[in-house]
Structure 1
Amino acid sequence: MTHNSRITQGAEEPGHKASMVDKKYDGREHVEERGQWASKVEFLLAVAGNVVGLGNVWRFPYLCYKNGGGAFLVPYLVFATTCGVPLFLLETAVGQYTQEGGITCWRKLCPIAEGIGYGGQLILFYSCMTYIVILAWALLYFVFSFSPQLPWASCDNYWNTDDCVDLTTNNSIPWGNKTNSSSAATEFWERRVLAISTGIEDIGSIRCEVLMCLVAMWIICYFCVWKGVKSTGKVVYFTATFPYVMLIILLIRGLSLPGALQGVVFYLLPDPARLTDPQVWMEAGAQIFFSYSIGVGSLTVLGSYNTYNNNCYKDCLWLCLLNSGTSLTAGFAVFSVLGFMAQEQGVPIAQVAESGPGLAFIAYPQAVAMMPLPQMWSICFFVMLILLGLDTQFVAMEVVMTSITDMFPKVMRLPGRREKFLLLFCVICFLLQLVMVTEGGMYVFQMFDYYACNGACILFLCVFEVLALGWVFGAERVYGIIKDMTKIRPNAFFKICWLYLTPVVSLGTFICSLVEYQPLTFNRWYVYPTWAYSLGWIFALSSILTVPGWALYKLGTESGTLAKRFRRLCQPDLENSMTQNSDSKVEVTGGEQVQLFTTNGISS
């Protein structure tokens, strides 16, 4: 049977892509084809847009300075080498080989591990809920950036308090040393944008301006994704490249400011003593798993739209290098500006360094307010933030949609079905998010982000993913698949990682994250009520329990003895595999089909 005939045959079965546009369904409507990237560039830009996000700008630089400066790069590179790159390649290759989404790919590779796919999609769903709220805040700041005077630059506004300090006119006053003092940027963020309440118990009213920005972002994301990879592949030409233009502009501007050198030195000055702190290693590992977008099925879905012979091996190596390089470069752009701000205020850089929303919506806006032409630099910064977050958001939506579509191809690939279901998905997410745009919404947002999208959940999925693919499906098998697809023999180091290094390092990091767990607090002083912590743990466990839950469900519903059920659920379904090696064959043993591989790939 030829390669093309195998694909056509696979299109007639649930979970396999349709390969005939005119294939009739119920005698009336045709099932649309699954589609592929129009070019290799679209794939590269889509993956780059997905993995290079807000964390590269507002998380990595802060972690680097906090955990020993240049010394932090040692654990970062260790985790990138042993976990990040091997898992990045593994997931992309699996998607390219199976041509399936994040859930149905497991039906071909290791059916008992399908719960990993469900858990990953659940985390992506939670991410879609929180990520776009950040984009709504950034859009609101972008709109305010066109004001004649930036509203966070002065204390002459109705929302300001008597404790507000105008840093643009009192630069010589070390305001951070004043009791109860707050900057104009802080008061704008907390009192004008969020109108933050006293706690999660006090939800308050909806912030209409943030709500309108949220609606706008959902509309933009919908039309970026509504035609699948046909529309996504075109949008990323802009959303994945233009942030780099903005980053370069901000980098040049930052390095030209007085005090920039001190900021850069503070950012990278190595402190080797920190390498003995387990917390430093744990945070380096968490950053790798977050920034490489591994464990949640995104790379599997994006890789599934490649042609079979795409060189995913080389692509993955370059994309990983781009991701880490962007993080490092963003640190120079951020800390050069923070160095300038610290010099202007006459305070240590550590006093102005922030991470997450504190950097994006307080520290950096405060810094640009001190520059000449502050509106222009504010616009550049928030355009960069919006575009960095936008393609991460709509690619996550595309991944979820693809995974659901591949589960129900005969229903979801009917004309107009995808667009309607996507609209329903957006509306449901929007309605669930309404609580996050209230006066108490920031408390809900932080709780959701801390528990539902917790790095420990991703680590847990990665441990079982690499065990399922490296040990059950077989690292030799994966190695042979990559060799057959790319016609390149991958470095044998990847097999060692898939079998030993990656599962051990991932499991160790997961255990450490549980041991070092600290209950969530807000601004270091607000302690959440018990019911909020309980709700957070429910969100966290919802993605973790899908792995054992699905395995137990399948073992309980299959026929035969427990041992036979287990063996059957660990058996890959390679009947419609796309392996093109003419020497490969399937040996039938005991009524089950087994694809044979050697260390050199597929053997006869």
Structure 2
Amino acid sequence: RPLWSNKVEYILAQVGYSVGSMNIWSFPNLWIQNGGSVFLVFYILMLFLIGVPLLFMEMASGQRLRQGSLGVWKLTSPWMTGLGYTTFLVCFIEGLVFNLVNCWSLLYLSQSFQFPVPWETCPLVKNSSEVSLDPECARTTPSMYFWYRKTLKASDTIEDGGVLIPSVTLSLLLIWFLTGLIMINGLKSTGKALYVLVLLPYLILLCFLIRSPLLEGASFGLQHMLVFKKVSIEDSISIFFQVGMYVLLSLGLGLGIIASFATYMHPSNNCLTDAFLMALVNLGTSLIATPVIFAVMGFWATVIAHRCSENNSSKLVFYLIFRVAIVNLIPCPHALLLHLKVKKYIKVYDVTWCTIIKKMVLSKVSECKIQDQISKVKKGTSFAYLAFIEAMSFIPGSAYWSILFLLMYLSMGLTAMVGIMQGIITPLQDTFSFSRKHPKLLIVNVSVLMFLCSLFFAQPSGFYFFRLLNDYWINFPILFLITLENVAIAWSYGAKRFLAEMMILMGHPISPIYRFLLCCLCPFVLLVLSAVTPIYVYVQDFIYLAWDSSTSEEVPREFPSWAFNSLIIFTVIVFLPILIYFVYYFIH
């Protein structure tokens, strides 16, 4: 079996896969929603008490047995043979979803090579002899939403299909070509590509860490990050659930990818140290990215608030010029009214305007509070992502910063996709001899097959199907797989036996605490999360944000009943191999 050229390539592969875009967006979002310090304490405890043991378990399984997901569980416990097939299927679906996000990043990156970037301002449209802002974009805040929907050409509902979108189809073709090209020569090409794909995002993140605190309003965003709140017992339970899910998903557990990378390492490698290193890099990346996100969000909120105030001033001037009858009633000089500063116009109202007139004018303007803009970040990671891209267009040299950011995001997405592809290809090579003899042909065939499957998301309603899988389905299978893997190792195979074998291979003792963590704490936490997750999903509104072309705004719509039924059928099909093999070995 081939090995990594050196351990640096192996660590880069594991870091590139597990430290992905989720650390950039989900960590700050959970931070702001859950009181900052409380969330951080919960996260560190879960990371080292749950994350590290499970990381060690997956790394050691692949490193010891040198098998992909289809073989490792059959050798661990025949009862869990079907677990490998289910893992393979979930990994395949995750690959389709993940590379779709990379496709969108590539689309935006291609549009960033313009000055100014297209989403910096609303486009102009010509109506007969007049030129004005596109009314659809003018009604959309932020304007990035307009370009976001325009690029994806999203339909009004999930039922509205249509022909494939040419730009998305071409971008999907390019992204799958890049993915296959990186992996075409196996570990040789993958290892060399990882030096660039993994290290480049950290270099760009360092540039943002230096630049972002110097932006106007960045201090407001950073102060908002440092605001801590007290949490109740009910809030603590919610934080426990969110942190637990985040730790498991951000580390990339459950899909057999970590084990697949480890199969190409020497069996005597100290994978326990590697697991700790992975956890520290994961934590460090999140702590570096968080102040960058908050600083840029503070800058974005400041610019949006200023634009709102300027818009209010324009409305007031228009109102005062063209509403002559009302202007004549105001006992103050016109010159003063026409040169009102945004922060002072309310004081002028209080001093000089009667109550009726004040109400009439105030009804024409909107609130322009930076705090309100910052609070919008709580809407979710998608909003923060789009707001961040829009904020790049406000910085001098906007095209340069937009390219840097999207290049960083695309690099992180590609490294994660390399891991997912490795989790698909390694089991096939271990199972079929033809695949081992013709690895390049296998990679090409898998890439073409996955590209053809991903074309389903290139239709106008494809974005809503992506949200359906990403928001309501993918997390539960991964969590359930992690739980079954932990039970298979800790109880079916035996944690004592497992750790004893690893002690022999690594040549040094392993603390008995890991037996307790793998046998007791990890299964308990995983079972609680597995029980709570379906309830949590069930009590949520089964809705998606659709694009209403008549108003150019996002509106909540309820998923049709067939969407919910299709998720149930999908889940049954994916987990069917586990049931089949379990019944087979029970009978025999």
Q: Shorter chain as normaliser: what TM range?
A: 0.7 to 0.9
CA displacement at 1:392 relative to structure 2 = 0.4
Cα-to-partner distance string for 1:334-391 (whole Å, 9 max, x where unaligned): 111001111222322112455333332x211111111111111101100000000001
Letter in 2 for 1:491: S
Contact kept, 8 Å, 1:80 with 1:288, in 2: the verdict is: yes
1:533 maps to 2:556: no
Change (3 A) 1:285 1:542: farther
Q: 1:376 aligns with which of 375, 380, 400?
A: 400
CA displacement at 1:439 relative to structure 2 = 1.4
CA displacement at 1:512 relative to structure 2 = 1.0
Contact kept, 8 Å, 2:123 with 2:134, in 1: the verdict is: no
Cα-to-partner distance string for 1:243-294 (whole Å, 9 max, x where unaligned): 1001111121112212222212323432231564222221111111111111
Q: 1:413 aligns with which of 403, 423, 436?
A: 436
Distance in 1 separating the partners of 2:459 and 2:381: 20
Cα-to-partner distance string for 1:96-153 (whole Å, 9 max, x where unaligned): 1111111201222212112222222211111110111111111111111111211101
Q: 1:425 aligns with which of 446, 471, 475?
A: 446
Change (3 A) 1:262 1:387: same
Distance in 2 separating the partners of 1:62 and 1:354: 9
Contact kept, 8 Å, 2:29 with 2:377, in 1: the verdict is: no
Contact kept, 8 Å, 1:146 with 1:375, in 2: the verdict is: yes
Change (3 A) 1:429 1:329: same
Contact kept, 8 Å, 1:43 with 1:302, in 2: the verdict is: yes
Contact kept, 8 Å, 1:113 with 1:551, in 2: the verdict is: yes
1:164 maps to 2:164: no
1:308 maps to 2:267: yes
What's 2:375 paired with? Answer: 350
1:554 maps to 2:585: yes
Distance in 2 separating the partners of 1:308 and 1:183: 52
Distance in 2 separating the partners of 1:373 and 1:366: 13
Q: Please give the TM-score of this superposition, normalised by the length of structure 1.
A: 0.80
What's 2:346 paired with? Answer: none
Of 388-397 and 461-470, deviating more is: 461-470
What's 1:210 paired with? Answer: 168
Letter in 1 for 2:403: I
Distance in 2 separating the partners of 1:369 and 1:293: 32
Q: 2:25 aligns with which of 55, 58, 67?
A: 58
Cα-to-partner distance string for 1:35-69 (whole Å, 9 max, x where unaligned): 11111111100000110111111222111111222
Considering fraction of residues, name the structure with more helix. 2
1:127 maps to 2:149: no
Letter in 2 for 1:412: S
CA displacement at 1:520 relative to structure 2 = 3.6
Letter in 2 for 1:503: P
1:522 maps to 2:547: no
What's 2:204 paired with? Answer: 246
Change (3 A) 1:114 1:272: farther
**1:99-118 superposed matches below 5 A:** 99-118=66-85
Aligned to 2:394, the other structure's residue is in SS state coil
Cα-to-partner distance string for 1:285-332 (whole Å, 9 max, x where unaligned): 111111111111111111111012111111110111101221221111
Aligned to 1:343, the other structure's residue is in SS state helix
Distance in 2 separating the partners of 1:211 and 1:445: 15
What's 1:468 paired with? Answer: 488
CA displacement at 1:70 relative to structure 2 = 2.2
Change (3 A) 1:516 1:390: same
Aligned to 1:183, the other structure's residue is in SS state coil
Contact kept, 8 Å, 2:142 with 2:387, in 1: the verdict is: no
Change (3 A) 1:265 1:114: farther
Aligned to 1:50, the other structure's residue is in SS state helix
Letter in 1 for 2:255: V
Aligned to 1:35, the other structure's residue is in SS state coil
CA displacement at 1:204 relative to structure 2 = 2.3
Unmatched runs of 5 consecutive residues or more in structure 1: 1-33, 166-179, 559-604
What's 2:529 paired with? Answer: 509
Distance in 2 separating the partners of 1:157 and 1:551: 63
Distance in 1 separating the partners of 2:390 and 2:75: 52
**1:413-492 superposed matches below 5 A:** 413-414=436-437, 417-453=438-474, 455-492=475-512
Change (3 A) 1:57 1:109: same
Distance in 2 separating the partners of 1:187 and 1:83: 42
CA displacement at 1:519 relative to structure 2 = 4.8
CA displacement at 1:403 relative to structure 2 = 0.9
Change (3 A) 1:316 1:146: same
Contact kept, 8 Å, 1:261 with 1:336, in 2: the verdict is: yes
Q: 2:10 aligns with which of 26, 43, 56?
A: 43
Change (3 A) 1:479 1:512: same
**Based on CA coordinates, which of the two structures has the bigger radius of gyration?**
2
1:193 maps to 2:151: yes
Aligned length: 504
Q: 2:513 aligns with which of 490, 493, 501?
A: 493
Distance in 2 separating the partners of 1:120 and 1:335: 36
Contact kept, 8 Å, 1:451 with 1:537, in 2: the verdict is: no
Letter in 2 for 1:539: F
Unmatched runs of 5 consecutive residues or more in structure 2: 127-132, 306-369, 546-554
Contact kept, 8 Å, 1:72 with 1:275, in 2: the verdict is: no
Contact kept, 8 Å, 2:123 with 2:137, in 1: the verdict is: no
Aligned to 1:411, the other structure's residue is in SS state helix
Q: 2:283 aligns with which of 314, 324, 337?
A: 324
Letter in 1 for 2:16: G
Aligned to 1:522, the other structure's residue is in SS state strand
Cα-to-partner distance string for 1:173-221 (whole Å, 9 max, x where unaligned): xxxxxxx64332111111x211111111101232211211111110110
CA displacement at 1:95 relative to structure 2 = 0.8
Q: 2:258 aligns with which of 286, 292, 299?
A: 299
Distance in 1 separating the partners of 2:84 and 2:228: 40
Distance in 2 separating the partners of 1:332 and 1:198: 36
Distance in 2 separating the partners of 1:294 and 1:508: 17
What's 1:28 paired with? Answer: none
Q: Percent identical across equivalent pairs?
A: 29
CA displacement at 1:161 relative to structure 2 = 4.2
CA displacement at 1:476 relative to structure 2 = 0.9
CA displacement at 1:87 relative to structure 2 = 0.4
Contact kept, 8 Å, 1:71 with 1:274, in 2: the verdict is: no
Letter in 2 for 1:363: A
Contact kept, 8 Å, 1:450 with 1:520, in 2: the verdict is: no
Distance in 2 separating the partners of 1:333 and 1:543: 39
1:335 maps to 2:294: yes
Distance in 2 separating the partners of 1:275 and 1:380: 42
Cα-to-partner distance string for 1:431-486 (whole Å, 9 max, x where unaligned): 12112122111111111223442x22122112221111111211111211222222
**1:395-406 superposed matches below 5 A:** 395-406=419-430
Aligned to 1:59, the other structure's residue is in SS state helix
Distance in 1 separating the partners of 2:506 and 2:220: 46
Contact kept, 8 Å, 1:51 with 1:392, in 2: the verdict is: yes
Letter in 2 for 1:501: L
Aligned to 1:272, the other structure's residue is in SS state coil
Cα-to-partner distance string for 1:203-240 (whole Å, 9 max, x where unaligned): 12322112111111101100111222222122111111
Aligned to 1:205, the other structure's residue is in SS state coil
Letter in 2 for 1:306: M
What's 1:542 paired with? Answer: 573
Distance in 2 separating the partners of 1:275 and 1:242: 42
